[in-house]
Amino acid sequence: MAVSETTPGRAARERAAEYLIRRHYFSWPEALPWLIAIACFFIFPDRMTFGSQVLIMVMFALSLDLILGYAGIVTLGHAAFFGIGAYTVALGFVKLGWSEPITGIIAAGIVAGIVGIAAGWFILRYRGLTLLMLTIAFGAMLLESGNIRSDFTGGYDGLPGLTFDPLLGMFQYDLYGRTNYWYVLVVLAVVFFFVRRIVYSPFGQALTGIRENVRRMHAIGSPVHRRLVTVYAISAGIAGIAGGLFTQTNAYVTLTVFDFDTSAKVMVMLILGGTGRLYGAFLGAAVYMILEDKLSKMSPSFWQFGIGLLLVVVVMFAKRGLLGIAEAIGRKTKRGQA
Partner 1 sequence: MTAALEIDKLDRSFGALHVTRNVDLTLARGARHALIGPNGAGKTTLINLITGVLRPNSGRVLLDKQDITALSQAERARRGLARTFQINQLFRGLTVLENICMAIGERDGHNTNMWRSAGSKRVVIDEALDHLESLRIVDDALKLVRELPYGRQRLVEIAIALAQRPRVLLLDEPAAGVPSSESHLILDVVAGLDPNIAVLIIEHDMDVVFRFAKEITVLVAGAVFTQGTPQQIRADERVREVYLGQEHGHG
* Closer residue to partner 1 in complex, CB, 40/234: 234
Residue 165 or 327: the one with the smaller Cβ distance to partner 1 is: 327
Helix (H) or strand (E) segment spanning residue 112? helix 101-123
User: How many residues are recorded in the chain?
Assistant: 338
The type of residue at 324 is G
Per-residue DSSP letters for 302-330? THHHHHHHHHHHHHHH-TTHHHHHHHHHH
> Largest Cα–Cα distance of the chain, in whole Å?
76
Task: Decide if residue 21 touches partner 1 (CB under 8 A).
Answer: yes
Task: Compute the distance between CA of residue 94 and CA of residue 162 in angstroms, rounded to an integer.
Answer: 8
**Interface with partner 1, residue 30, by CB under 8 A:** no
Rule CB under 8 A: which of 238-277 touch partner 1?
none
d(CA 282, CA 278): 8
Closest distance of CB 225 from partner 1, Å: 9
Which residue lies nearer to partner 1 by CB, 35 or 219? 219
Query: Which listed residue (102, 110, 114, 224) binds partner 1 by CB under 8 A?
Result: 224
Q: Which residue stretch of 52-60, 161-169, 210-218, 323-331 sits at the interface with partner 1 (rule: CB under 8 A)? A: 210-218
DSSP string over 94-111? HHH----HHHHHHHHHHH
The verdict on 175 binding partner 1 (CB under 8 A) reads no
Question: Is residue 19 a contact residue for partner 1 (CB under 8 A)?
Answer: yes
Q: Does residue number 7 form part of the binding site for partner 1 (CB under 8 A)?
A: no
Report the sign of the C-alpha dihedral through residues 69, 72, 74, 79, in that order.
negative
Binding-site member from 35, 96, 175, 220 for partner 1 (CB under 8 A): 220
Pick the closer one to partner 1 by CB: 1 or 170: 1
In the complex, the smallest distance separating the C-beta of residue 203 from partner 1, rounded to whole angstroms, is 4
In the list 49, 99, 222, 296, the residue contacting partner 1 (rule: CB under 8 A) is 222
Residue 329 in contact with partner 1, rule: CB under 8 A: no
- Neighbouring residues of 123: CB distance < 8 A, sequence distance ≥ 6: 131, 134, 135, 138
Query: Is residue 49 part of the contact set for partner 1 (CB under 8 A)?
Result: no
Nearest to 235 by CA among 275, 285, 198, 282: 198
| Residues near partner 1 (CB under 8 A), total | 39
Paired residues of 36 in beta bridges: none
Residues that bind partner 1 (CB under 8 A): 1, 3-4, 9, 12-13, 15-17, 19-24, 197-198, 200-206, 208-209, 212-213, 215-224, 227
